[in-house]
Structure 1
């Protein structure tokens, strides 16, 4: 197996990725506080958030709080279980990344992530940014949701491309060897732990297919987690701030399903990235804690936070649009296309059929969850 990154660079990349996720969480907290402040200023003038429908009878603060505490525990457990199953499945031969079962399960999880972007996050952004509580100009005159999602997808491609180019550059340094000036050494660690060095002439031919594939998996795992973190915190915040028990009950089950299979998709990417145990633990922690943390934050702000305030609608709507563009790009380009156009699935028509069936089942199941979440 190729050891693409040295231990120093490896730890640096993982910590940098986690620092980015931490910055996102802090940014969301600051934005939420801004929403609270704006809501307090405008609450006397806005009646958009008042619920006079029969659903308003479901509003029960104490009952909703019990359900939210149950949600924190259950979502945390299913998140940890979902993301850890692939990460620590290397000891199980049937779940090895090269096995057919792993490929099919990952296709199912990729379908879940794809449906999350199209069926959950994108419609939520449309709903927020076209709300009657926002001024007609400019929010009803321009499709901000699709525009921001498009820019987010392009930005994700840029991050993907620049990250690949950067890591290729820093890990393809020319060195003088027996093959002449400019030769490059690739370090290859075999299963038995023995290390061999292979010299290749030229600067542009330093990374082999396996090397590039490993690098690709690492970039995909880190970028995918950033998109999931944004989406998860927004979902948790909305749920934590709600006191509608009738809405929360089905939402708990839907989010458990969502987090479990989304975690399996992310866990598969983490496993294929061959990260160190420390980096794996950090990535698992951030994925698992974001939705429960968002719920806890929403509970703390439930007395002041209002989804119907203009600032909250704009901030959450734009964040959802960004997350949708990122998730849709990652699901289609870096997960589905990468696997289905790869040599393993291209070499077996039967495995392709099973993969597409699993993909459709995952996407269909997650699309069905849109009825409740």
Structure 2
């Protein structure tokens, strides 16, 4: 027994002599902020990796004497390059990013995280998808992934698709040349007796009304709000700037409409008093009651038309001009932002804008087609003005891409003002079209099938354009 005890004592003594970590005292204090640490011969082993700045403080001979791979990995770990995120629970630095209990959202995602979570689409100062802080920086000019051939190709893509959307209804209207005598291009003309092209034009007309209404609210007024609430613009002296501008545009459009119609009506009265035609045998009261399109069914002769018909034509001309003005105002900026933009989400934006312009072209073209009394040259010029405006904007954007910032103050103000003005014009015009077709127009007395078809077409346009508002 004595021999066994002696052997145990001797073994313990030898073990203590061979274990320098248990007897050597720490040459440096225990690191803070790295969890529980244990002194190991010449350095501390901690639960968390040693930052590069801390690791660099060790002497070179300590690294050489300690060549195991675990210590080498901890000595090369990067220090936190960004502060710990707030409102995301407990966070731990992991080589190049923070691991937190709650996931990152919005601008908290870095460029790598944005690529992993989805596309970043920056369009006219507002954002769809996951974007990095660098992409959202005020005044930043983003030229990464800029594909010049595709940008140039987008000019022709938009040109062709917009031309198809705009010219198909116009040409369809030309094929209805006999309707100059029958008045079959009326808003209530629908059914077997009208034929396929007549029904197609009827659907396009009311589909376009829904497109115009959704464009005013979803694409223009909402984005006007976003522009003036952009943090890069700073605090506004008058917060509701976008609706105020839209309201001013509505009132200006109303004044133009009122005084323009008043002046035109006086001219028609003077011409009627100078030489009334035989078709104007109706009394003044009857003409007043039939002014709201009911008299549009009166026949049109080579030598002229009735007074009520002339007033109706003038009113329709003016409405289409207002509609085109509202569309042109914002189409130029759509082109500029597309031409100057880039990034992984740019292709998605191009596809959305192509559909956007196609639908708007169909809405405008269907209204131009109903002006069956104007010359074909004038109809072509009205369509060409819309078809060219967005490609011209894309060309301008390509030219100024190195200096154009979608989050710059100048571009935010320009886009916000133009969007709000266009929203006001299109809101006024859209409700005038609804009133002229439904509440005060021929659909009020039309057959049920025409009413159902027109409402379905209008709501289809409304929903289609509203869905596109998710991206553009």
- Alignment TM-score, normalising by the size of structure 2: 0.59
CA distance in 1, matches of 2:399, 2:246: 30
Say yes or no: does 1:232 pair with 2:325.
Answer: no
Aligned to 2:312: 213
Shift of 1:104: 2.4
| Structure with greater helix percent | 1
Query: Alpha-carbon deviations, 1:129-165, whole Å to 9, x = none?
Result: 1111123141xx5200001101111111111112211
User: Residues 196 and 356 of structure 1: is their aligned pair in 2 closer, same or farther, counting only changes over 3 Å?
Assistant: closer
Aligned to 1:362: 461
Residues 72 and 196 of structure 1: CA distance in aligned 2, closer, same or farther (over 3 Å): closer
Deviation at 1:168, TM superposition (A): 1.8
Give the equivalent residue in structure 1 for 2:195.
none
Is residue 256 of structure 1 aligned with residue 349 of structure 2?
no
Moved more, 287-296 or 105-114: 105-114
Question: In the alignment, what sits opposite 2:259?
Answer: 162
Which position in structure 1 is the counterpart of 2:100? none
What's the Cα RMSD here? 2.6
Could you tell me which residue of structure 2 aligns to residue 72 of structure 1?
Answer: 155
Task: Return the alpha-carbon distance in structure 2 between the equivalents of residues 91 and 137 of structure 1.
Answer: 50
Structure 1 stretches lacking a partner, 5+ long: 1-45, 176-181, 199-206
Which residue does 1:32 correspond to in 2?
none
**Which digits, 9 at most, give the CA deviation of each residue in 1:295-341, with x for residues without a partner?**
110010000111222122112211110011111111122x2221123
Give the TM-score of the pair, scaled to structure 1. 0.74
User: For the Cα contact (< 8 Å) 1:75–1:291, is it kept in 2?
Assistant: yes
Match of 2:276 in 1: 185
Q: Which has the higher contact order (CA 8 A, sep 6+)?
A: 1
User: 1:97: which partner in 2?
Assistant: 185
Find the partner of 2:436 among 328, 338, 348: 338
Q: Report the secondary structure of 2:321's partner residue.
A: helix
1:88 and 2:171 equivalent? yes
Aligned to 1:322: 421
Spell out the pairing of 1:1-373 with structure 2 (5 A cutoff). 47-50=137-140, 59-61=144-146, 63=147, 65-93=148-176, 97-98=185-186, 99-100=189-190, 101=199, 102-138=201-237, 141-173=238-270, 182=273, 184-186=275-277, 194-195=302-303, 207-208=307-308, 210-244=309-343, 246-273=344-371, 274-333=373-432, 335-341=433-439, 342-373=441-472
- Please say which of residues 308-317 and 97-106 is displaced more in the overlay: 97-106
Aligned partner of 1:38 in structure 2 is none
- Relative to structure 1, the CA distance from residue 85 to residue 59 in structure 2 (aligned partners, 3 Å threshold; closer, same or farther) is same
**Can you give the 5+ residue segments of structure 2 that lack an aligned partner in the other structure?**
1-135, 191-198, 280-297
Deviates further, 313-322 or 82-91: 82-91
Secondary structure class of the residue paired with 1:185: coil
Whether the 8 Å contact between 1:237 and 1:297 is mirrored in structure 2 is yes
Report how far residue 66 of structure 1 moved.
3.0
Render the CA deviation track for 1:211-260: whole Å, top value 9, x for unaligned: 3221111001111111111110011111111122x332122222222222
Aligned residues: 301
For the Cα contact (< 8 Å) 1:218–1:269, is it kept in 2?
no
